[in-house]
C-alpha cells in the first residue's frame, strides 16, 4: 500500500519518528525502510531533506540505485539473492559466488557510487552464494 504512495510513505515515516521521539530515541538513530519504487524514492528524498535517514530496499537494478543516490538516500539494500533467483530461473544456469549476477550487480552499484561521488551506503541483502 505505501510502496506506491509518496505522501502516505512520508506521513507513516513521520508518525514512526514521532513515536520514537516520544520514547527518547533520537531521529539520527532511526533508519526508515522504504521500497525503492519511484514513489518510495520520492518519499525518501523528502525525508532525507528533513534529516530522516532512509534505507531503500527491494532494489534490483542500477537505474533504481542511481535514482536512490540522486534522491540522497542514506542506504540502499539491493536484493542479491533475488537477482540470482531471477537469473537462474531465466537461464537455467547455476552460478558460483564469483559469477553470481546479484553479487556482480552490487559490485557495479558500489563502483558507480564511488566513481560519481555518491555518499549512499550499499548494503547487499538476501545473499545466497556467499
Residue 73 is part of a domain; what is its CATH number?
3.20.20.70
Residue 128 located in a structural domain: no
For 42-67, the pLDDT digits (tens) are 999 999 999 999 999 999 999 999 99
Amino acid 126: pLDDT: 84
Residue 130 located in a structural domain: no
Q: What one-character DSSP code corresponds to residue 79?
A: B
Residue 90 located in a structural domain: yes
Amino acid 130: pLDDT: 61
Q: Are strands 31-35 and 53-59 parallel, antiparallel or unpaired?
A: parallel
Contact 1, 39 (CB under 8 A): no
Q: Is 119 a catalytic residue?
A: no
Residue 129 located in a structural domain: no
Q: How many CB atoms lie within 10 A of CB 62?
A: 13
Which residues of the chain are under the pLDDT cut of 50?
none
- C-alpha distances in Å from residue 101, one per residue of 75, 104, 105, 122: 21, 5, 6, 16
Choose the catalytic residue: 33, 88, 93, 119.
33
The number of distinct structural domains making up the chain is: 1
DSSP 19-61: HHHHTT--GGG-EEEEE-SHHHHHHHHHHHHTT-EEEEEEE-S
Amino acid 34: pLDDT: 98
Question: CA-to-CA distance for 60 and 42, rounded, in angstroms?
Answer: 17
What pTM does this model have?
A: 0.91
Say how many residues make up the chain: 130
Residue 1 located in a structural domain: no
The boundaries of the domain holding residue 17 are 6-122
Residue 114 located in a structural domain: yes
Amino acid at each position: 500500500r505505501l510502496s506506491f504512495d509518496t505522501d502516505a510513505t512520508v506521513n507513516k515515516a513521520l508518525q514512526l519518528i514521532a513515536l520514537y521521539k516520544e520514547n527518547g530515541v533520537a531521529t539520527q538513530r532511526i533508519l526508515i525502510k522504504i521500497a525503492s519504487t519511484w514513489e518510495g524514492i520520492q518519499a525518501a528524498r523528502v525525508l532525507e531533506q528533513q534529516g530522516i535517514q532512509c534505507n531503500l530496499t527491494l532494489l534490483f537494478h542500477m537505474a533504481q540505485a542511481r535514482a536512490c543516490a540522486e534522491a540522497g538516500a542514506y542506504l540502499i539494500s539491493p536484493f542479491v539473492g533475488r537477482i540470482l533467483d531471477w537469473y537462474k530461473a531465466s537461464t537455467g544456469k547455476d552460478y558460483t559466488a564469483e559469477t553470481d549476477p546479484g553479487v556482480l550487480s552490487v559490485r557495479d552499484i558500489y563502483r558507480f557510487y564511488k566513481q560519481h561521488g555518491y555518499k549512499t551506503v550499499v548494503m547487499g541483502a538476501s545473499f545466497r552464494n556467499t
